Protein backbone atom coordinates (compact mmCIF):
# COMPACT_ATOMS: atom_id res chain seq x y z
CA UNK A 1 0.00 0.00 0.00
CA UNK A 2 1.26 3.50 -0.83
CA UNK A 3 1.46 5.88 2.12
CA UNK A 4 1.67 9.64 2.05
CA UNK A 5 5.16 9.44 3.51
CA UNK A 6 6.35 7.72 0.33
CA UNK A 7 4.98 10.39 -2.02
CA UNK A 8 6.85 13.63 -2.72
CA UNK A 9 6.95 16.18 -5.52
CA UNK A 10 8.54 14.92 -8.71
CA UNK A 11 12.27 15.48 -8.70
CA UNK A 12 13.39 18.10 -11.20
CA UNK A 13 16.49 18.24 -13.40
CA UNK A 14 16.42 22.04 -13.18
CA UNK A 15 19.66 23.57 -11.90
CA UNK A 16 19.21 26.78 -9.95
CA UNK A 17 21.16 29.75 -11.24
CA UNK A 18 20.99 33.55 -11.26
CA UNK A 19 18.88 33.49 -14.44
CA UNK A 20 16.36 30.90 -13.25
CA UNK A 21 12.85 32.22 -13.85
CA UNK A 22 11.34 31.94 -10.36
CA UNK A 23 7.69 32.75 -9.80
CA UNK A 24 6.86 33.68 -6.20
CA UNK A 25 3.22 32.68 -5.86
CA UNK A 26 1.41 34.74 -3.26
CA UNK A 27 -1.91 36.44 -2.46
CA UNK A 28 -4.41 33.95 -3.75
CA UNK A 29 -8.10 33.41 -3.17
CA UNK A 30 -8.30 32.28 0.45
CA UNK A 31 -9.32 34.06 3.63
CA UNK A 32 -5.59 34.23 4.47
CA UNK A 33 -4.84 36.36 1.42
CA UNK A 34 -3.65 39.44 3.33
CA UNK A 35 -1.09 37.47 5.32
CA UNK A 36 0.11 35.78 2.13
CA UNK A 37 0.64 39.14 0.42
CA UNK A 38 3.04 40.18 3.18
CA UNK A 39 4.77 36.78 3.35
CA UNK A 40 5.22 36.67 -0.41
CA UNK A 41 6.64 40.16 -0.70
CA UNK A 42 9.18 39.40 2.03
CA UNK A 43 10.23 36.14 0.36
CA UNK A 44 10.48 37.79 -3.06
CA UNK A 45 12.78 40.50 -1.70
CA UNK A 46 14.95 37.85 -0.04
CA UNK A 47 15.15 35.87 -3.31
CA UNK A 48 16.31 39.00 -5.10
CA UNK A 49 18.95 39.62 -2.43
CA UNK A 50 20.12 36.04 -2.95
CA UNK A 51 20.97 36.96 -6.54
CA UNK A 52 17.96 35.59 -8.44
CA UNK A 53 17.22 38.74 -10.42
CA UNK A 54 14.88 36.96 -12.83
CA UNK A 55 12.30 36.24 -10.11
CA UNK A 56 8.84 37.78 -10.30
CA UNK A 57 5.87 38.11 -7.96
CA UNK A 58 2.63 36.52 -9.14
CA UNK A 59 -0.64 37.24 -7.33
CA UNK A 60 -2.55 34.00 -7.86
CA UNK A 61 -6.05 34.10 -9.33
CA UNK A 62 -8.04 31.81 -11.61
CA UNK A 63 -5.83 32.67 -14.59
CA UNK A 64 -2.75 31.26 -12.88
CA UNK A 65 -2.16 28.38 -15.32
CA UNK A 66 -1.95 30.75 -18.28
CA UNK A 67 0.13 33.25 -16.33
CA UNK A 68 2.71 30.62 -15.40
CA UNK A 69 3.11 29.69 -19.04
CA UNK A 70 3.12 33.26 -20.34
CA UNK A 71 5.79 34.25 -17.81
CA UNK A 72 7.84 31.13 -18.66
CA UNK A 73 8.15 30.19 -14.99
CA UNK A 74 10.78 27.50 -14.39
CA UNK A 75 10.33 27.16 -10.61
CA UNK A 76 7.48 28.11 -8.29
CA UNK A 77 8.16 29.40 -4.79
CA UNK A 78 4.82 28.90 -3.03
CA UNK A 79 3.85 31.40 -0.34
CA UNK A 80 0.10 30.85 -0.52
CA UNK A 81 -1.69 30.27 2.77
CA UNK A 82 -4.99 28.44 3.03
CA UNK A 83 -7.40 27.24 0.35
CA UNK A 84 -6.06 26.63 -3.18
CA UNK A 85 -2.48 27.21 -2.03
CA UNK A 86 -1.81 25.07 1.01
CA UNK A 87 -4.27 22.28 0.23
CA UNK A 88 -2.64 20.59 -2.75
CA UNK A 89 -4.53 22.48 -5.49
CA UNK A 90 -1.66 24.65 -6.72
CA UNK A 91 0.76 21.76 -6.25
CA UNK A 92 -1.32 19.55 -8.53
CA UNK A 93 -1.51 22.27 -11.18
CA UNK A 94 2.25 22.79 -11.06
CA UNK A 95 2.84 19.07 -11.52
CA UNK A 96 0.54 19.08 -14.57
CA UNK A 97 2.57 21.98 -15.98
CA UNK A 98 5.84 20.21 -15.11
CA UNK A 99 7.04 23.12 -12.96
CA UNK A 100 9.05 22.20 -9.85
CA UNK A 101 7.87 23.85 -6.65
CA UNK A 102 8.88 24.37 -3.05
CA UNK A 103 7.59 22.47 -0.06
CA UNK A 104 5.19 19.57 0.32
CA UNK A 105 3.58 17.58 -2.46
CA UNK A 106 -0.08 17.19 -3.36
CA UNK A 107 -0.97 14.41 -0.93
CA UNK A 108 0.73 15.81 2.17
CA UNK A 109 -0.64 19.28 1.44
CA UNK A 110 -4.22 18.03 1.08
CA UNK A 111 -3.99 15.82 4.13
CA UNK A 112 -2.61 18.45 6.51
CA UNK A 113 -5.03 21.14 5.34
CA UNK A 114 -7.81 19.12 6.95
CA UNK A 115 -7.49 19.19 10.74
CA UNK A 116 -9.65 16.08 11.20
CA UNK A 117 -7.73 13.98 8.68
CA UNK A 118 -4.43 15.15 10.12
CA UNK A 119 -5.56 14.18 13.60
CA UNK A 120 -6.60 10.72 12.40
CA UNK A 121 -3.20 10.05 10.81
CA UNK A 122 -1.31 11.35 13.84
CA UNK A 123 -3.41 9.24 16.20
CA UNK A 124 -2.71 6.14 14.09
CA UNK A 125 0.99 6.99 14.37
CA UNK A 126 0.72 6.89 18.17
CA UNK A 127 0.98 10.65 18.65
CA UNK A 128 -1.14 12.53 21.23
CA UNK A 129 -4.14 14.51 19.93
CA UNK A 130 -7.05 16.12 21.76
CA UNK A 131 -10.51 14.56 21.83
CA UNK A 132 -12.90 15.94 19.23
CA UNK A 133 -16.06 15.37 17.24
CA UNK A 134 -16.85 16.44 13.68
CA UNK A 135 -20.01 18.13 12.44
CA UNK A 136 -20.99 18.24 8.76
CA UNK A 137 -22.75 21.22 7.21
CA UNK A 138 -25.17 19.18 5.09
CA UNK A 139 -26.33 16.92 7.91
CA UNK A 140 -25.76 18.96 11.07
CA UNK A 141 -26.14 22.62 10.14
CA UNK A 142 -29.89 22.67 10.77
CA UNK A 143 -29.33 21.15 14.22
CA UNK A 144 -27.01 23.80 15.57
CA UNK A 145 -29.74 25.21 17.82
CA UNK A 146 -30.13 21.78 19.45
CA UNK A 147 -27.86 20.39 22.20
CA UNK A 148 -24.69 18.78 20.87
CA UNK A 149 -23.37 15.79 22.79
CA UNK A 150 -19.77 16.38 23.82
CA UNK A 151 -18.09 13.38 25.46
CA UNK A 152 -15.46 15.75 26.86
CA UNK A 153 -17.69 18.62 28.02
CA UNK A 154 -17.02 22.36 28.03
CA UNK A 155 -15.08 24.53 27.36
CA UNK A 156 -14.62 23.57 23.72
CA UNK A 157 -12.76 24.95 20.71
CA UNK A 158 -14.86 25.30 17.55
CA UNK A 159 -12.71 25.08 14.40
CA UNK A 160 -13.44 25.06 10.66
CA UNK A 161 -11.45 22.02 9.59
CA UNK A 162 -9.88 23.61 6.50
CA UNK A 163 -8.96 27.10 7.69
CA UNK A 164 -5.73 28.44 9.17
CA UNK A 165 -4.61 31.49 11.15
CA UNK A 166 -7.42 30.83 13.68
CA UNK A 167 -9.96 32.16 11.14
CA UNK A 168 -13.53 31.20 12.10
CA UNK A 169 -12.40 29.71 15.41
CA UNK A 170 -14.05 30.30 18.78
CA UNK A 171 -13.68 29.18 22.36
CA UNK A 172 -17.04 28.24 23.84
CA UNK A 173 -17.42 28.01 27.60
CA UNK A 174 -21.08 26.99 27.86
CA UNK A 175 -23.67 25.19 25.77
CA UNK A 176 -25.86 28.22 25.10
CA UNK A 177 -23.01 29.95 23.23
CA UNK A 178 -22.28 27.05 20.91
CA UNK A 179 -24.86 27.87 18.21
CA UNK A 180 -23.32 31.24 17.36
CA UNK A 181 -19.81 29.74 17.21
CA UNK A 182 -21.01 27.00 14.87
CA UNK A 183 -22.72 29.49 12.55
CA UNK A 184 -19.48 31.44 12.32
CA UNK A 185 -17.36 28.35 11.68
CA UNK A 186 -19.71 26.98 8.99
CA UNK A 187 -19.18 30.20 7.02
CA UNK A 188 -15.62 29.04 6.36
CA UNK A 189 -15.88 25.27 5.90
CA UNK A 190 -18.37 22.48 5.30
CA UNK A 191 -16.99 20.56 8.27
CA UNK A 192 -16.44 21.91 11.78
CA UNK A 193 -14.45 20.30 14.55
CA UNK A 194 -15.43 20.59 18.18
CA UNK A 195 -12.26 19.93 20.14
CA UNK A 196 -11.71 19.64 23.87
CA UNK A 197 -10.13 22.83 25.21
CA UNK A 198 -6.69 22.23 26.62
CA UNK A 199 -5.68 24.55 29.41
CA UNK A 200 -1.98 25.25 29.14
CA UNK A 201 0.70 26.78 26.95
CA UNK A 202 0.62 27.23 23.17
CA UNK A 203 3.77 26.08 21.41
CA UNK A 204 4.93 25.76 17.84
CA UNK A 205 7.91 23.95 16.36
CA UNK A 206 9.31 24.31 12.86
CA UNK A 207 10.91 21.74 10.60
CA UNK A 208 13.24 22.96 7.85
CA UNK A 209 14.79 20.59 5.34
CA UNK A 210 18.45 21.55 4.98
CA UNK A 211 20.86 19.60 2.79
CA UNK A 212 18.16 16.98 2.34
CA UNK A 213 17.60 16.39 6.07
CA UNK A 214 14.74 17.69 8.23
CA UNK A 215 16.02 19.93 11.03
CA UNK A 216 13.78 20.66 14.03
CA UNK A 217 13.85 24.27 15.26
CA UNK A 218 13.84 25.46 18.86
CA UNK A 219 10.37 25.44 20.44
CA UNK A 220 8.53 28.75 20.48
CA UNK A 221 6.05 29.45 23.28
CA UNK A 222 3.29 31.97 22.63
CA UNK A 223 1.70 33.84 25.52
CA UNK A 224 -1.28 35.83 24.15
CA UNK A 225 -1.77 39.22 25.78
CA UNK A 226 -5.02 40.31 24.10
CA UNK A 227 -7.16 37.22 24.65
CA UNK A 228 -7.37 33.94 26.53
CA UNK A 229 -6.10 31.88 23.61
CA UNK A 230 -3.82 32.43 20.59
CA UNK A 231 -6.43 33.89 18.25
CA UNK A 232 -6.20 35.90 15.01
CA UNK A 233 -5.91 39.21 16.85
CA UNK A 234 -3.08 37.93 19.04
CA UNK A 235 -1.24 36.49 16.06
CA UNK A 236 -1.19 39.54 13.83
CA UNK A 237 -1.25 42.50 16.22
CA UNK A 238 2.19 43.81 17.01
CA UNK A 239 2.68 43.43 20.75
CA UNK A 240 -0.36 41.15 21.01
CA UNK A 241 1.67 38.14 22.07
CA UNK A 242 4.71 37.54 24.23
CA UNK A 243 7.07 35.15 22.45
CA UNK A 244 9.32 32.95 24.57
CA UNK A 245 12.13 31.40 22.54
CA UNK A 246 13.23 28.86 23.50
CA UNK A 247 10.14 27.83 25.42
CA UNK A 248 10.39 27.44 29.18
CA UNK A 249 10.09 23.66 29.35
CA UNK A 250 11.96 20.91 31.13
CA UNK A 251 14.73 19.22 29.09
CA UNK A 252 12.68 16.00 28.97
CA UNK A 253 9.55 17.76 27.70
CA UNK A 254 11.58 19.73 25.16
CA UNK A 255 13.13 16.57 23.77
CA UNK A 256 9.80 14.73 23.69
CA UNK A 257 8.06 17.55 21.78
CA UNK A 258 10.89 17.87 19.26
CA UNK A 259 10.83 14.11 18.69
CA UNK A 260 7.04 14.22 18.24
CA UNK A 261 7.50 17.07 15.76
CA UNK A 262 9.78 14.99 13.59
CA UNK A 263 7.48 11.96 13.87
CA UNK A 264 4.48 14.02 12.82
CA UNK A 265 6.37 15.59 9.91
CA UNK A 266 7.20 12.12 8.59
CA UNK A 267 3.83 10.52 9.41
CA UNK A 268 1.88 12.85 7.13
CA UNK A 269 4.51 12.82 4.37
CA UNK A 270 5.76 16.40 4.70
CA UNK A 271 8.75 17.61 2.77
CA UNK A 272 10.74 20.82 2.71
CA UNK A 273 9.21 22.86 5.51
CA UNK A 274 6.38 22.76 8.03
CA UNK A 275 5.35 24.19 11.38
CA UNK A 276 3.61 22.01 13.95
CA UNK A 277 1.44 23.47 16.71
CA UNK A 278 1.15 21.99 20.20
CA UNK A 279 -0.54 22.59 23.53
CA UNK A 280 1.24 21.66 26.77
CA UNK A 281 -1.38 20.70 29.33
CA UNK A 282 -1.38 22.18 32.82
CA UNK A 283 -3.52 19.24 33.95
CA UNK A 284 -1.23 16.40 32.87
CA UNK A 285 -0.71 13.60 35.33
CA UNK A 286 1.73 11.89 32.91
CA UNK A 287 -0.28 8.65 33.15
CA UNK A 288 -3.84 9.21 31.92
CA UNK A 289 -3.49 12.78 30.61
CA UNK A 290 -0.62 13.37 28.13
CA UNK A 291 1.78 16.24 28.88
CA UNK A 292 1.20 17.68 25.40
CA UNK A 293 -1.04 17.42 22.35
CA UNK A 294 -0.48 18.11 18.65
CA UNK A 295 -3.09 20.52 17.28
CA UNK A 296 -2.29 20.91 13.59
CA UNK A 297 0.38 21.01 10.90
CA UNK A 298 1.04 24.04 8.68
CA UNK A 299 2.86 23.23 5.44
CA UNK A 300 3.31 26.84 4.28
CA UNK A 301 4.10 28.78 7.45
CA UNK A 302 3.83 32.55 7.54
CA UNK A 303 6.91 34.52 6.56
CA UNK A 304 5.94 37.98 7.84
CA UNK A 305 7.99 39.99 10.31
CA UNK A 306 5.68 38.70 13.07
CA UNK A 307 5.67 35.06 11.92
CA UNK A 308 6.90 32.18 14.00
CA UNK A 309 9.15 30.24 11.61
CA UNK A 310 11.57 33.09 10.79
CA UNK A 311 12.01 33.75 14.53
CA UNK A 312 12.66 30.05 15.19
CA UNK A 313 15.15 29.85 12.33
CA UNK A 314 16.98 32.94 13.59
CA UNK A 315 17.24 31.35 17.04
CA UNK A 316 19.17 28.45 15.51
CA UNK A 317 21.48 30.74 13.54
CA UNK A 318 19.58 30.77 10.23
CA UNK A 319 18.77 34.37 9.17
CA UNK A 320 15.72 35.16 7.03
CA UNK A 321 17.46 35.04 3.65
CA UNK A 322 19.10 31.70 4.46
CA UNK A 323 15.71 30.33 5.49
CA UNK A 324 14.22 31.42 2.17
CA UNK A 325 17.18 29.88 0.35
CA UNK A 326 16.70 26.56 2.19
CA UNK A 327 13.03 26.51 1.22
CA UNK A 328 13.94 27.40 -2.36
CA UNK A 329 16.33 24.46 -2.52
CA UNK A 330 13.51 22.04 -1.66
CA UNK A 331 12.21 22.51 -5.21
CA UNK A 332 15.42 21.21 -6.77
CA UNK A 333 17.06 18.88 -4.24
CA UNK A 334 20.50 17.58 -5.13
Domain boundaries, the chain: 4-103, 112-128+199-329, 132-196
**Residue 286 pLDDT class (50, 70, 90 cuts):** low
What pLDDT is stored for residue 1 in this prediction? Answer: 24
Q: Tell me, what's the pLDDT at 285?
A: 55
3-state secondary structure of 133: strand
Q: Name the active-site residue from 32, 87, 163, 195.
A: 32
Q: Specify the range with the lowest mean pLDDT, choosing from 107-111, 237-241, 250-254.
A: 237-241
Catalytic residue among 39, 42, 114, 165: 165
Phi and psi for 192 in degrees, rounded to 5? -130, 135
236 is known as an active-site residue: yes
Residue in 26, 236, 293, 320 annotated catalytic:
236
What local confidence, expressed as pLDDT, does residue 5 receive?
41
Is residue 202 part of the annotated active site? The answer reads no
Find out if CATH 3.40.50.20 is the number for domain 4-103: yes
Query: What is the predicted pLDDT for the residue at 4?
Result: 38
Name the band, by pLDDT with cuts 50, 70 and 90, for residue 60. Answer: very high
Which one-letter DSSP state was computed for residue 199? -
CATH class held by domain 112-128+199-329? alpha beta
Q: Report the pLDDT averaged over residues 211-231.
A: 84
Selection from 38, 36, 40 nearest residue 24 by Cα: 40
Name the maximum alpha-carbon separation found in the chain: 61
Cα angle at 68 between 25 and 55, to 5 degrees?
A: 55
What's the pLDDT band for 222 if we cut at 50, 70, 90?
A: confident
Q: Average pLDDT of the chain?
A: 88
Q: Residues 97-110: what's their mean pLDDT? A: 96
Are the C-beta atoms of 194 and 136 separated by less than 8 Å?
no
- The single residue of 170, 298, 308, 320 carrying the catalytic annotation is 298
Distance (Å, rounded) from C-alpha 159 to C-alpha 111? 16
- Residue 15 pLDDT greater than 90, yes or no: no
Whole-prediction pTM value?
0.87
Q: What pLDDT, on the 0 to 100 scale, is given for residue 6?
A: 40
Q: Which of 74, 163, 277, 325 is catalytic?
A: 277
Q: Is 176 a catalytic residue?
A: no
- Judge whether 296 counts as a catalytic residue: yes
CATH 3.30.1490.20 fits 132-196, yes or no: yes
pLDDT at residue 224 above 80?
Answer: no
Told to judge if 32 belongs to the known catalytic residues of this protein, a careful annotator would answer yes
Instruction: Please confirm, yes or no, whether 285 is among the known catalytic residues.
Output: no
141: pLDDT strictly greater than 80: no
Confidence of residue 112 (pLDDT cuts 50, 70, 90): very high
The pLDDT assigned to 34 comes to: 92
Residue 114 is among the residues annotated as catalytic for this protein: no
Mean pLDDT of 224-233: 69
Enter the DSSP assignment of 272.
S
pLDDT of the residue at 281 = 86
Q: Do 35 and 302 touch, CB atoms closer than 8 A?
A: yes
Amino acid sequence: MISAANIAPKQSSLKLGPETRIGVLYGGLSSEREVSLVSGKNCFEAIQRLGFKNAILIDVDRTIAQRLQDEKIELAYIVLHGKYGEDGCIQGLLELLDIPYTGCGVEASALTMNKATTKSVLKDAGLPVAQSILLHKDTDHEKIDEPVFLPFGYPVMVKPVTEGSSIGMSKVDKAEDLSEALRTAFQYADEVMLEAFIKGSSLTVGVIEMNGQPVVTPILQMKPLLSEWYDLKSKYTEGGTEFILPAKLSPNTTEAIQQATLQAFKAVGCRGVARIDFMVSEESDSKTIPPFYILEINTIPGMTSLSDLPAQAAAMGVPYDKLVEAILQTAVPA
